[in-house]
Structure 1
Amino acid sequence: MKQFDVPVFYRSNLISLIKKKRKEKDKLKKDFTPTLLDFGPVQIFLARHFGFCYGVENAIEIAFKTVEQNPGKRIFLLSEMIHNPQVNADLANHGVRFLQNTEGKELIPFDSLTKEDIVLIPAFGTTLDIEKKLVDIGIPIEKYNTTCPFVEKVWNRSAAIAAKDYTIIIHGKPSHEETRATFSHASANAPSVVVKNMAQAQRLATYITGASPAQNFYEEFKNQYSEGFDVEKDLQRIGVVNQTTMLASDTQAIADFLKQVMIDKYQLTKATIAERFADTRDTLCYATNDNQTSVLEMLNTPADLAIVVGGYNSSNTSHLVELCEEKLSTYYINNSEKILSRKEILHYNFHTKQEILTADYLPTTEPIRILITSGASCPDALVEDVIQKLISFYPGTKSIEEIIAQIANT
């Protein structure tokens, strides 16, 4: 896989070495067990796969090279490059300005742009309408487009099934930049509708079967369906794709459920299922799959708590938190500063969208066993900072340098 030129301050000597050693021993990525870092009083179990993915590293490389190669030029980002506050702050400190917030609200008017400006398209991609606005201004979009190739894969899959007259069902968060972009590309080729979760998929099924009056659909799915959507016609042939960072199990469950709805309604067999339901297989990216599988395997390790590091508006990170919460106390933080002391931690509740303060989060018995992972947009350096902060509370722990030397000699 291509190696990217990512700023060194996002790297971690400890984690780079761990990932290098694991890759050497497991080239086919079949071993998803966590890595034990035994500091003595503190035992850290790192997920097999975590941190920057291909799409994120690609986006960061393009963004920082663009800044370096264009001194004096105005450089803009459509919205956040990725969902990590440090990376976005670093780009802002390098003079990059944001045209929109993550909800798509304009922060800088598009009509203030000129053809001399540079506009970076973030890893999530963007809508066809925004692409057209930039092209009409005269701004080239191909050179500075950092859209993740796995997002583009979903767009291509949508176009392929649209060509066969299937309606596109998108499992995703309607307000998320990636889902907005995917919806734009999908709906240019076929009727499209977004479902947030299984509950909405079940409601959609009532319109497929006719159990709910067709006219109610337009209010229930307001702002989630394409222009001109005809409930009675456009739900007769469907295919399911997804926002690439959703929970794999949720997407699969929704696809299986809707497939069964079509089988029951139209009395389909294995030989005839394609008449009504498209075979889209999985459109989650490899990193989402690997990170989620790694967390599930890590959770088989007896532990006292889990810490997940990443941006609070990161979809892929919140799903890792969701998996951990099912098994043990989990603390979602975006950097080591949220670990206030041995006694207190300030962490994010993504269900209520609030930071909360928790006391006595670390057990009194030793050794303490902590599971750690991070989202696909989180720099490894932040994870090392978290480890350093945790072990600093315990006299007599091995240093990170000692652990690096130990790993290097294995």
Structure 2
Amino acid sequence: MKTFDVPVNYRSPLISAIKKKRKESDRMKKDFAPTLLDFGPVQIYLARHFGFCYGVENAIDIAFKTVEENKGKRIFLLSEMIHNPQVNADLKAAGVEFLQDTKGKQLMPFEQLTADDIVLIPAFGTTLEIESKLKAIGIATEKYDTTCPFVEKVWNRSEVIAKNEYTIVIHGKPKHEETRATFSHAAANAPSVVVTDMKEAQELAKYILGEKPVAQFYEEFKGQYSEGFDVANHLQRIGVVNQTTMLASDTQAIADFLKETMIKKYGLSEATIKDHFADTRDTLCYATNDNQTAVIGMLDAPADLAIVVGGYNSSNTSHLVELCEEKLPTYFINSDEKILSKETILHYNFHNHTELVTEQYLPTKEPVKILITSGASCPDALVESVIKKLVGFYPNSKTIEEITASPLSPEGGTKA
């Protein structure tokens, strides 16, 4: 796989050493058990896969090279490069300006841009409408397009099923940059509609089955369907794709449910299912799959709590939190600074979008056992900082250097 030139301050000697050891001992990625970092009074179970993915490293590489190679030029980002506050702050510090916020609100009018300006397309991609606006100004975006190849894979899949006259159902968050971009590309080729979750998929099914009045659809799914969408005709043949960072199990459940809905509506068999339902297979990216599977594997470990590190507006990170919350107390933080002390932690509730303080989050017993993972846009250096902060609360702990030098355990390769 291609390697990227990512700023050294995002790297972590500890995490790099652990990932190298795990890769050498499990090249086929079949072992999703966590790595145990036994510091003595505190034991850290580190997920098998976490942190920067291919698409994120590619975007960061292009962005910082663009800054370095274009001194004196105005450089803009359409919105956040990725959903990580440190990376976006570093780009701003380097002189990069943002044109929009993450919800698409304009921060600077496109009319103020000139053909001499550089505009970076973020990893989430962008809409065809915005691409057209930039081209009309004379801005060439191809060289500075950091769209993740796995997002483009979804666009390509959508185009293929559109050619076969299927309507595209997108499982995603309607206001998320990636879903807005995917919807734009899908809608250019076929009727399209976004469903946020299973509840919305169930409501969509009622229109397919004729159980709800057609007129109600346009209010219920306002802002989530393409122009000219005809409920009576456009829900007869459908295919499901997704925002690449959604929970794999959720997307599969929605696709299976809508497939069963079409079978019920049209009395289909396995031989005739393609007449009304496209076989799109899973369109999650490999990193989303690996990170989610690694969390599921990590949750088998005996632990007192979980800490998930990443940007608060990161979709893939919030889904890792969601998985952990099903099993044990979970704290979602974006840096080690949120760990205020051994007694107090400031963490994010992504359900209601608020930060809250929890006291006595660490149990008084020893060893304390903590699960740790991070989102695909989180630098490994942040994870190491979190580990160091936690270990620092226990004076008799082993050092990072001792842990790094430890061989992998022969009992399944889960101890460092």
Q: Bin the TM-score by the shorter chain.
A: over 0.9
Q: How many residues align?
A: 410
Deviations 1:141-179 (A, max 9, x none): 100000000000000000000000000000000000000
Distance 2:402 2:115 in 1: 54
What's the offset of the Cα at 1:407?
Answer: 4.1
Deviations 1:165-197 (A, max 9, x none): 000000000000000000000000000000000
SS in 1 for 2:307: strand
Give 2:53's aligned residue: 53
Matched residue, 2:161: 161
Match of 1:360 in 2: 360
The structural deviation recorded for 1:408 is 8.5
In structure 1, the residue matched to 2:127 is 127
Aligned partners of 1:62, 1:407: CA distance in 2, in Å?
36
Partner of 1:72: 72
Structure 2 unaligned residues grouped into runs of 5+: 410-415
Matching residue's letter, 1:190:
A
Partner of 2:28: 28
> What's 2:114 paired with?
114
Matches within 5 A, 1:94-243: 94-243=94-243
Match of 1:306?
306
Summarize deviations over 1:229-285 as a string: whole Å, max 9, x none: 000000000000000000000000000000000001100001000000000000000
Task: State the match for 1:286 in structure 2.
Answer: 286
Deviations 1:44-100 (A, max 9, x none): 000000000000000000000000000000000000000000000000000000000
Q: Distance in 2 between matches of 1:365 and 1:390?
A: 14
Matched position secondary structure for 2:178: helix
Hey, what's the Cα distance between the residues in 1 that align with 2:75 and 2:46? 37
State the match for 2:401 in structure 1: 401
Q: What is the identity, as a one-letter code, of the residue corresponding to 1:319? A: H
Equivalents in 2 of 1:165, 1:366: separation in Å?
A: 61
Residue 347 of structure 1 corresponds to which residue in structure 2?
347
SS in 2 for 1:189: coil
Q: Deviations over 1:175-227 (max 9, x none)?
A: 00000000000000000000000000000000000000011100000000000
Contact 1:17–1:408 (Cα < 8 Å) also in 2: no
| Residue aligned with 1:143, SS | helix
Partner of 1:264: 264
**Quick one: which amino acid aligns to residue 218 of structure 1?**
Y
1:200 partner letter: E
**Match of residue 412 from structure 2:** none
Deviation at 1:406? 1.8
Shift of 1:108: 0.8
Number of the residue aligned with 2:329: 329
Residue 10 of structure 2: aligned partner: 10
Distance of 2:189 and 2:132 partners within structure 1: 16
Q: CA deviation at 1:402?
A: 1.3
Amino acid at match of 2:170: I
Which residue in the other structure is 2:387 paired with? Answer: 387
Q: Secondary structure at the match of 2:393?
A: coil
Structure 1 stretches of 5 or more lacking a match?
none
Amino acid aligned to 1:20? K
Structure 1 runs, 4 residues or longer, greater than 6 Å off? none
Please give the alpha-carbon distance, in whole angstroms, between the structure 1 residues aligned to 2:15 and 2:268. 50
* Equivalent position amino acid for 1:5 in 2: D
| Secondary structure at the counterpart of residue 345 of structure 2 | strand
Distance 2:352 2:200 in 1: 20
**Separation in 1, partners of 2:401, 2:386:** 15
SS in 2 for 1:14: helix
Q: Is the 8 A contact 1:151 1:244 kept in 2?
A: yes
Determine the structure 1 residue equivalent to 2:276: 276
Question: Which residue identity lines up with residue 28 of structure 2 in the other structure?
Answer: L
Q: Give me the whole-angstrom Cα distance separating, in 1, the residues matched to 2:15 and 2:392.
A: 18
Letter paired with 1:68: E
Tell me how far 1:405 sits from its aligned partner.
Answer: 1.8
Q: How high is the TM-score relative to the length of structure 1?
A: 0.99
Aligned-partner residue type, residue 38 of structure 1: D
Determine the C-alpha separation between the residues in 2 that align with 1:370 and 1:407: 21
8 Å Cα contact 1:18/1:407 also seen in 2: no
Contact 1:191–1:229 (CA under 8 A) maintained in structure 2: yes
- For normalisation by structure 2, the TM-score amounts to 0.98
Equivalent positions of 1:369-384 (< 5 A) are 369-384=369-384
- The alpha carbon displacement at 1:4 in A equals 0.7
1:400 Cα shift? Answer: 0.7
Residue type of the partner of 2:256?
D
Counterpart amino acid of residue 282 in structure 1: D
CA contact (8 A) 1:79 1:99 kept: yes
8 Å CA contact 1:119, 1:139 repeated in 2: yes
Mapped pair 1:318 → 2:306: no
**Which whole-Å CA distance do the structure 2 matches of 1:115 and 1:241 have between them?**
35
